[in-house]
Amino acid sequence: MSKWNVGLAIALGLPLLVGLGCNNSSIGGESLDDAGVGEDLTPPPPPPIPGCTGACVVNTSCPSAMGPTTITGTVTIPSGLLPLYNAKVYIPSGTSIPPAPVSGATCDRCDAVSSEIASTTTDINGNFVLNNVPSGSNIPLIIKVGKWRKVITLPAITDCTTTKLAAADTRLPRNQNEGNIPRIALSVGSADAMECILRNKKLGLDDKEFTTETGTGRVNLYAGANGVTKFAANLNGGAAFTAAAVQPAKSWWDDINNWTKYDIVMLSCEGNELMTYKSPQALQNMETYLGMGGRVFASHYHYGWIKNADATKQQIQKVVTAWNPTAGPDPATENVDTTTAKGTALADWLMLPAVAGSTQRGKLAVGGARYSVASIDPKLTQRWVYYPPATGNPIPQYFSFNAPVGATARAQCGRMVFTDLHLSGGGTAPYDTSPNGGTFPTTCSSTSLSPQEKALIFMLFDLTNCLTPIVG
């Protein structure tokens, strides 16, 4: 391993004491008081860097020919197959590495105050340039997207040089040994198979991270209607999933405590609305969960959570202004909405050679397309992808909204993404299947990512990232 190779340093394993050989060279200075006399002109010490040894300071006087002390790299999804846009990369300050994210619904906002020595975000290529970093040994670096987090230690950083990190060091964690992964509840269905997209040959999570709710994996699988019901014999001993939809008994969704222990809830299409499984209490629980900072990704017929909400008690139904379930072309070529900054980023990202998700900017080829929503409220929602009919209004296919719905931007904490596409079922491409009575992961047939699955991954990481206001 070269001297620039990076070793993992998960926060729990670091001896995080400050001042171990650190040089307190000057950074900045202080002004004279009004009298101009008797003032201590000694500059303050630099902010502490957790676990650092050696110089441990930022050199702000590098020769122009050399440039500042810099770290570069490319952040990717856990599989390493796709670059990751808008990931935060930073060197923390303080006496210790920030603690691991707490599982469950929490208010994670991008405008939250934090303390860093140096900080940046990745561009659409997943690339980052972190300037004015400290020199020394054992410099900690954190890569973060919401509650996805990887902590690495840089063995040695030299003044006024650029250090490029290896690709293996800057991909997000595939398992808990490599870093932090959000806790995900995923309800499987009969017409979609979101569980397959999260695996090692696509998004990249190791199969050992898929367990029942009583297991230690970060993705807990639940049985929706008519889909996969249990693990294969060689995974978790063939254990059966907890049933999310139980009738006439009380469903899993009826208890708010089931929701709030998860960072993300993913709902695969069940082939019908099946509202007998989704009580008024369950509908209210989803809205409550979103308002607390929860994140939800829902596919096709799970529009029922929005459409059937109680208008006298809930606000969520306001995001859709007209419903019109109807037939449409499948497969289809959809438009990416480039009227927003994030939509523009998605369109550009899909065109990257490393992504190869589109052959024409602003276009997305999809299979398993459905047409349920006629229009959405542009003040409450972000439209990502839509179908442009020859006549009539565009039909939203992907959209997201922040919660509580209708609250001021500074009062919102949660987010939901709805897709009217079957992300991994139907169409003509080799999508994964989840037949009734099958087992996971044997029903995950395809190994390549379709264009719409790539778009889903982009939006999934946007969903899990810190919350930004909806800007129309």
Residue range 116-159, pLDDT digits in tens: 999 999 999 999 999 999 999 999 999 999 999 999 999 999 99
Same-domain pairing of 318 and 420: yes
CA-closest candidate to residue 154, choices 144, 146, 142, 145: 142
Tokens of 153: 């230690």
- What pLDDT digit, counting tens, does each position of 26-37 carry? 333 333 344 444
In a domain, 470, yes or no: no
Largest distance between two CA atoms of the chain: 83
Considering the chain, what percentage of its residues have pLDDT values greater than 70? 86
Q: Does residue 339 lie in a domain region?
A: yes
| CB neighbourhood size of 331 (10 A) | 15
Domain presence at residue 177: no
Residue 288 covered by a domain: yes
pLDDT tens digit string along 237-258? 999 999 887 665 678 999 999 9
Same-domain pairing of 163 and 189: no
pLDDT per position as a tens digit, 192-243? 889 999 998 899 999 999 999 999 999 999 998 878 889 999 999 999 999 8
202 and 160 in a common domain: no
CB 212 within 8 A of CB 236: yes
Residues 316 and 457 in one domain: yes
Q: Which of 117, 140, 170 is the last residue before a domain boundary? A: 170
Q: Which of 147, 170, 193 is the last residue of a domain?
A: 170
429 by Cβ neighbours in 10 Å (0-12 / 13-18 / 19+) ranks as middle
| Segments forming the whole domain that contains residue 336 | 184-464
Q: Is the pLDDT of residue 115 over 80?
A: yes
Tally of domains within the chain: 2
347 found inside a domain? yes
In this prediction, residue 379 carries a pLDDT of 95
> Within a 13 Å sphere around the CA of 7, how many CA atoms are in the beta-carbon half?
10
- My answer on whether 161 and 200 are in the same domain is no
Whether 246 is in a domain gets the answer yes
* CATH code of the domain covering residue 108: 2.60.40.10
Q: 67 in helix, strand or coil?
A: coil
Q: Is the residue at 469 inside a domain? A: no
Please state the pTM of the whole predicted model: 0.88
Shared-domain flag, residues 194 and 154: no
Answer whether residue 137 is part of any domain: yes
Whether residue 93 is found in the same domain as residue 205: no
Residues 153 and 299 in one domain: no
CATH of the domain at 311: 3.40.50.880
